[in-house]
DNA sequence: AATTCCGCCAACCGCAGGTTC
DNA sequence: TGAACCTGCGGTTGGCGGAAT
């Protein structure tokens, strides 16, 4: 029997339900350590969901909404902390190209990251760069610059840092039989998408992992290459759903500092960032785009 | 040393869609 | 069937800390 059902059958009644925000002394603002402990303890025992009930039963003078947000964005044990890794930044760029401001959907592909984090990253980093380049973050020019300039640079840096891209590009037959499906990684244990395609529209016409010349690993595409600027230069072959991230269960261990974690596992720390990839070439690229 | 500016991020708000009664 | 309520999402804001002046 699930928590929802238990809570409903045991505690709900027409008079006890629907009392959200009836109490006038609803607390707002930063959470205290005591509140965190109350919420975490309650969720640990009873599970997630029914947040209004959680708020009341845990003795919190918070709205259910507030409790849910605090849990999802801060207290969840599987949350990651620290800077975005190169892989994560690359993934955000790619997924945003595909889905736009669907933060929660994008966050689903970044284990341990929240939609709030992804959204904040986008607003503080990516939009800042768009401002630098004096163009709209949603403009075609900016998106093309992301796809055709920054993303190849990210890939190049990832490749340079790990030297494992080639291994990742190997066909399925090169994978050990016990490999979790669809999760061969850029860095050790970090998943990369392959041919298990979802029902989403593709960025590129066809990308198959069995293709040893997988275009997703090609870097620095020239404006004249097939597809060209303005077309979908990159198809990472993104999948949909948690299956793609099973490698991360091994890669990420809760309770360990993110930086240490990544270092010890050979994964990239977030020292390299979008900002570090920006240079005057991008302004030139944009200018060329506008001239076309 | 004091003040101002700016970036980051936690938290709130409003809305939409789903669920319950 | 419709009102009340719940949940989740995306946009926005306010506070804090560090950098710049």
CATH number (domain holding residue A23): 1.10.10.60
A31 touches strand B (CB under 7 A): yes
Residue A259 scores a pLDDT above 60: no
Residue A5 scores a pLDDT above 60: no
Residue that wins the pLDDT comparison between A58 and A238? A58
Which positions of chain C lie under 7 Å from any protein Cβ?
Answer: 4-12
Beta bridge partners of A191: A185
Q: Indicate if A215 and A277 belong to the same structural domain.
A: yes
Could you give the number of structural domains in chain A? 2
pTM > 0.95: yes or no:
no
Residue A71 CA and nucleotide C20 C1' are separated, in Å, by 36
Q: Indicate if A187 and A243 belong to the same structural domain.
A: yes
Q: Which residue is nearest to nucleotide C5 (CA to C1')?
A: A18
Question: Which residue pairs from A170-177 have beta carbons closer than 8 angstroms and sit at least 24 positions apart in sequence?
Answer: A170/A212, A171/A209, A171/A210, A171/A211, A171/A212, A172/A209, A172/A210
Reduce the DSSP state of residue A162 to 3 states and report it.
helix
Lowest average pLDDT, out of A75-79, A91-95, A149-153, A263-267, goes to A263-267
A120 touches strand B (CB under 7 A): yes
Using CA atoms, how far apart are residues A55 and A64, in angstroms rounded to an integer? 6
| Pick from A212, A208, A158: nearest CA to A185 | A158
**Domain presence at residue A149:** yes
**Domain presence at residue A118:** yes
Model pLDDT, residue A186: 36
Using CA atoms, how far apart are residues A43 and A234, in angstroms rounded to an integer? 41
Model pLDDT, residue A203: 37
Which positions of chain B lie under 7 Å from any protein Cβ?
Answer: 7-14, 20-21
């Amino acid at each position: 029997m699930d928590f929802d059902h238990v809570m409903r059958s045991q505690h709900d009644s027409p008079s006890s339900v629907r009392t959200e925000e009836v109490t006038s002394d609803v607390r707002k603002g930063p959470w205290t350590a005591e509140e965190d402990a109350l919420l975490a303890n309650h969720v640990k025992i009873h599970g997630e969901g029914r947040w209004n009930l959680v708020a009341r039963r845990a003795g919190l003078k918070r709205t259910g909404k507030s409790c849910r947000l605090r849990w999802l964005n801060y207290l969840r044990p599987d949350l990651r902390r620290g800077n975005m890794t190169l892989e994560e930044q690359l993934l955000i760029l790619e997924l945003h190209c595909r889905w736009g401001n669907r933060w929660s959907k994008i966050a689903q592909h970044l284990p341990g990251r929240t939609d709030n984090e992804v959204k904040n990253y986008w607003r503080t980093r990516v939009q800042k760069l768009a401002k630098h380049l004096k163009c709209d973050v949603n403009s075609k020019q900016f998106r093309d610059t992301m796809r055709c300039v920054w993303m190849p640079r990210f890939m190049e840096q990832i490749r340079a840092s790990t030297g494992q891209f080639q291994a990742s590009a190997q066909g399925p037959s090169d994978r050990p039989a016990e490999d979790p499906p669809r999760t061969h990684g850029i860095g050790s244990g970090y998943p990369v998408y392959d041919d298990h395609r979802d029902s989403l529209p593709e960025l590129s016409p066809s990308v198959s992992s069995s293709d040893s010349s997988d275009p997703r690993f090609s870097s620095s595409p020239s404006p004249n290459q097939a597809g060209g600027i303005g077309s979908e230069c990159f198809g990472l072959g993104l999948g949909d759903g948690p299956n793609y991230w099973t490698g991360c269960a091994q890669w990420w261990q809760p309770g360990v500092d993110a930086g240490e974690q990544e270092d010890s596992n050979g994964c990239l720390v977030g020292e390299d960032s979008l900002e570090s990839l920006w240079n005057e070439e991008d302004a030139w690229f944009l200018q060329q785009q506008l001239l076309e």
